[in-house]
Amino acid sequence: MFEGFTIDDIDVGPAHVHVRHAGEGPAVLLLHGHPRTGSTWHAVAPALVDAGFTVVVPDLRGYGKSHGPAPTADHSAHSKRAVAGDMVRVMDALCHDRFAVVGHDRGSYVGFRLALDHEERVERAVLMDCIPISEHLHRADARFATAWWHWFFYAQPEVPERVINADPDGWYAGDARTMGAENHAEWREAMRNPDVVRAMLEDYRAGLTVDRQHEEQDRANGRRLRMPVLVLWSLRDDLEDLYGDPVAIWRDWADTVSGHGIDSGHHVAEEAPDALVASLIPFLRREP
């Protein structure tokens, strides 16, 4: 995987971020979701390099080979604001003043926070398979709670760690044929690490507490995304089934939004990388 990419471990203060990077041209930051690592982008990242971009692929704080601080009682150590700060410092270390961000799943929430808190750095944002956390929770009903029950299970103290670490292979299903052998091996190593499992759970605990509070404060203060935003979603996942057109929801949070679905299951970077790259390149090439 990632032939020709440089691998670094960057000290960003409260965390050490494992990152792959390569290419020349406009910078693009790729942020993975749960329970993946940066290797989920193994087919997408080289294609973007070939298209003329500089591509930066980190493991998020506590995921994969990135190491963060110990969890805090208020979960702020794993808030999207804290992780977005990591990403700014990574891009500083790699000398990228302005860049596009592409996030999937939990990485989309980091990308959203990054674009809100550091809008002077983010030229454009791609948010995949998500709506704001607070929008999910404001709409939460029995259907959502049944389909997305893991949000509330992961938020419980201690119990999820005991359940998952007892049989991580059984809990996290992954197919090497779909994921690719090397990506699957990297992911499998990560999810067998209890420290990684704890960090992933803290990501969800932060989502239902401090991250939601930050979003609600943003809404009350009228903060919006000012850069162009592309919203993508997996047609064989349930986001559109639950909420209708995700673009309509994001228009309450961003000035300029476009988007469409991709024929894929949830892990689109692995299942439909060509279609994803075909959607990303025209958007990323537009002038700011």
**Mean pLDDT value across residues 30-56:** 98
Residue 1 CB-density burial (10 A; 0-12 exposed, 13-18 middle, 19+ buried): middle
Task: Please confirm, yes or no, whether 11 is among the known catalytic residues.
Answer: no
**Mean pLDDT value across residues 27-32:** 98
* Residue 287 pLDDT: 61
Residue 257 is inside which H or E element, if any?
A: strand 254-262
Task: Please confirm, yes or no, whether 42 is among the known catalytic residues.
Answer: no
**Mean pLDDT value across residues 22-42:** 98
Q: Which homologous superfamily is 6-285 in? A: Alpha/Beta hydrolase fold, catalytic domain (3.40.50.1820)
* Residue 173 pLDDT: 83
What 84-88 contacts at long range (C-beta under 8 Å, 24+ apart), as own/partner pairs, is 84/110, 84/111, 84/113, 84/114, 84/117, 84/118, 85/12, 85/117, 86/12, 86/14, 86/15, 86/17, 86/58, 86/60, 86/61, 87/17, 87/29, 87/31, 87/58, 87/114, 88/114, 88/118, 88/121
Please report, as a single letter, which amino acid is at residue 265.
G
pLDDT digits (tens, 9 = 90+) for 109-149: 999 999 999 999 999 999 999 999 999 999 999 999 999 99
* Residue 56 pLDDT: 99
**Mean pLDDT value across residues 28-53:** 98
Could you tell me if 45 and 29 are in contact, meaning their C-beta atoms sit under 8 angstroms apart? no
pLDDT at 157 over 70: yes
Sketch the domain layout of the chain as residue ranges: 6-285
Residue 169 CB-density burial (10 A; 0-12 exposed, 13-18 middle, 19+ buried): exposed
Average pLDDT, the chain: 97
List 34, 118, 184, 266, catalytic entry: 266
* Residue 204 pLDDT: 98
**Mean pLDDT value across residues 12-36:** 97
List 42, 86, 96, 105, catalytic entry: 105
pLDDT at 288 over 70: no
pLDDT at 14 over 60: yes
DSSP secondary structure letter of residue 78? G
